[in-house]
Every structure is written in C-alpha cells, then in structure tokens.
Amino acid sequence: MRMEINWDHLSVEDLSLSKEIIAKIHKIMLKIPNPIAIMHVCGTHEYTIAKNGIRSLLPKNLRVISGPGCPVCVCPATDIDIAVELAKREDVILTTFGDMMRVPSTTYSLLELKARGAQIEVVYSPHDAIELAKNNPDKEVVFFAIGFETTAPLIAFELTMNPPSNFSIICAYKLVPPAMDVLLKIPHLEINGFILPGHVCAIIGAKPFEEYPKRYKSPMVVSGFEVNDMLISIYQIILQLYNKTATVGNSYTRVVQYEGNLQAQSYLEKAFEVTDSFWRGIGEIPNSGYQLREKYHKYDAVKKFDVHVDSDPKMPLGCSCSDVLIGKITPDKCALFGKTCTPQHPIGPCMVSHEGACKVNYMFRDI
C-alpha cells in the first residue's frame, strides 16, 4: 500500500518524498538494460551522498561516482610550493582557507610551516584577508586563492575595489565546464550522466554546460545539496537516459537561474582571463583556470615576489588520488586508504579536505 504524498505540506527535506523518488529510480532502472554510472563533481554532493548512505539505497546497476569536485584536491603541489615559498618570507602573512593547511606539498604542508614559525592565518572569507592587509601596513598579505567559479567572484569583486597595495593573491582558480570534456573522454570510464554542482551554477548558470550533453549524449542536471535534491537529480538523469534524451536539467531552481548571476560574471570578466590550468592528478586541462588581467598584475603574488618553484607534480608514492579524482576507483580500493593514509595522517590530498572523496568516505565508512 502506497503512502499518498501531500505536496501542499511538504518540505524539500521530507523523507516520504525520498522514498517516493527512490522507488521510482528502482522502477526505471528495471527497464534500463545496461549498468549506469552517474558522476558528480562536487565535494559537498559527495558529503550528502556518503553521509546519508544514498549509494546503498540505489539499484545495483546504478553507480554514483565521485569526480574532481574538491578544489583543495585538484590544486597542484606546485601551487602549494609557491604558497610555502611565500610563507617562508619574514615580510609575508599568508592567508588561506582552512582546508589548504594540511595538504602535502613537495616539502612541508602549510600547517607544518606554521608550526615552524611562519605567519600563516586561516581566514573564513577573502574580505578578512583584505582587512588583515589594512591592519598590517608594514606586512605583505598574500591570499591563497583556490576554488571554483563559486569562489572566484569574491576576489574579483575585491580587486575592483582597489585593495591595499600590500595585498596580493596566488591565483589558482579552476573552472568546472572544461573538465567535462576531459572526464567524458577518459578511456574505459563510461559516464552516462553528470550531477552538476549547484553553487558553481549559481554563479555561471546552467548555460555553459549546454554543449556537453549535445556532444556526448550525456544528460546533466544541476543539483542542490539536500538528500532529495540529489535523489531527484539522479532520477531526472536516468529518466533522460531511458527516454534517450540529453539536455541540461535543473533541479535546484530555488537558487540557480539558467543564466547564473550576471553581476558576479561581470566581476569575473573584469578581473580574470581564462587560461590553461594544471589539475593535480589529472594534468593540464585547456581553458580551465583563471589568471589576472594585466590591469591587476600588481596583485599577482607570483609576479610581485618573483617566485619560482620547480617541483614534480607527481602524487606521493602508493597514493591513488589521481584515480580517485576521476572516479576510476573508489577510495577504499586504494592500498593506503584507512591504513597509512587517514585524516589524522593524510598522504594524498583527497584525505585532507572535508570535501575530499577519501576523507568523506573514511568518515562515513562501515565499521
């Protein structure tokens, strides 16, 4: 006997809705002959999936795999080496989001360097870094600017507001849409559909993803971060696969508009130009990063302090983060997972960040 859903008194978190969607997913998957793999590219999506045990509720022939959605994880060791070099300077206060502190570089992590006396401050917001620069005019404040399109407009806006001359950034932003091309071309990694990151799309909209479903016949759905957001997105993707359609859908309409946030995009356009960028564990992806426009070069810490690092971008020995990042293996298939590599003693970047697939799966593993 099926429980009738009263839509008028329902919230997006409602469990009865979850049950309804899961039942529908099972029903459709009975009619799809081939195994299906759906990838998400967002650490917060992985958190929702792992925390709520969503994978265990799905049919056996439907896999949801974690892609390169953690900016800390895809930040190359070379960029961390640059931050380390800058933080070693007596005149520099390096500021960073907390997640970057424990990521291994080729020498020290920022946390180890701070323990040795370097001036490294964790900030919640880029604005805090600028305030720090204003309050410390005799110091150089460098902000380690990592993240995807969600995070980049914050600095873009601040740069247009003439921040103090003792402020600069390590510009290490990454762009999500160009990574789709790479992921969809990886041999033996057949991804049938993508769950798109809701807050990246809040900024850039769903529009920049339009070309990929057309080219690869792979449906994509913009998703929010509640359990039912994820379930309805999965449902919408398999429904498209069943109907043999491939478009960009949006199940996060309460936040994401098709065109995105145009004001944020105009700040991005003012401050940055698109450039090729190296992703840790994946390699160089054309047009997948930002560099500062010439007008803002005075805020480029690498140019300002003439930093040169010559490091090998390889992963640590035995570490499988590069396979985890592209969804080739699940974290538990890495020989180091939960043994020598744990959140207390991370070896690879995916075990460090709260959004890293290894850390999330370690936290919510079966014990």
Partner 1 sequence: MCLAIPGKILSLEEHFAMADFAGTQKKIVVALLPKIQIGEYVIVHAGYAIEKISHEAAQDSLTAWKEMISEGLVAKEDYV
Contact residues: partner 1, CB under 8 A: 2, 7, 10-12, 17, 20-21, 23-24, 26-28, 31, 42-44, 70-72, 97, 99, 124-128, 146-148, 150-151, 153-154, 157, 161, 197-200, 202-203, 224-225, 228, 232, 235-236, 239, 242-243, 251-257, 261, 263-264, 267, 353, 355
Comparison of 105 and 150: residue with beta carbon closer to partner 1: 150
Helices (H), the chain: 15-29, 43-51, 54-57, 71-74, 77-87, 110-115, 126-135, 152-160, 177-185, 198-204, 211-216, 227-242, 262-271, 301-304, 321-325, 357-363
Comparison of 165 and 245: residue with beta carbon closer to partner 1: 245
Residue 334 CB, nearest distance to partner 1 (Å)?
A: 22
Comparison of 200 and 324: residue with beta carbon closer to partner 1: 200
Residue 290 CB, nearest distance to partner 1 (Å)?
A: 15
DSSP 295: G
Residue 216 CB, nearest distance to partner 1 (Å)?
A: 23
Comparison of 161 and 367: residue with beta carbon closer to partner 1: 161
* Distant-in-sequence contacts of 118-122, Cβ < 8 A, 24+ apart: 118/87, 118/88, 118/94, 119/87, 119/92, 119/93, 119/94, 120/87, 120/93, 120/94, 120/95, 120/96, 121/93, 121/94, 121/95, 121/96, 122/95, 122/96, 122/97, 122/98
Residue 54 CB, nearest distance to partner 1 (Å)?
A: 17
Three-state secondary-structure class, residue 122: strand
Query: Residue 168 corresponds to which tokens in the numbers above?
Result: 């600069």
Comparison of 124 and 317: residue with beta carbon closer to partner 1: 124
DSSP string over 227-243: HHHHHHHHHHHHHHHHT
DSSP H or E segment with residue 277: strand 272-279
Comparison of 24 and 89: residue with beta carbon closer to partner 1: 24
Residue 224 CB, nearest distance to partner 1 (Å)?
A: 8
Residue located via tokens 């538990």? 332
Comparison of 119 and 236: residue with beta carbon closer to partner 1: 236
Residue 147 CB, nearest distance to partner 1 (Å)?
A: 6
Residue 81 CB, nearest distance to partner 1 (Å)?
A: 21
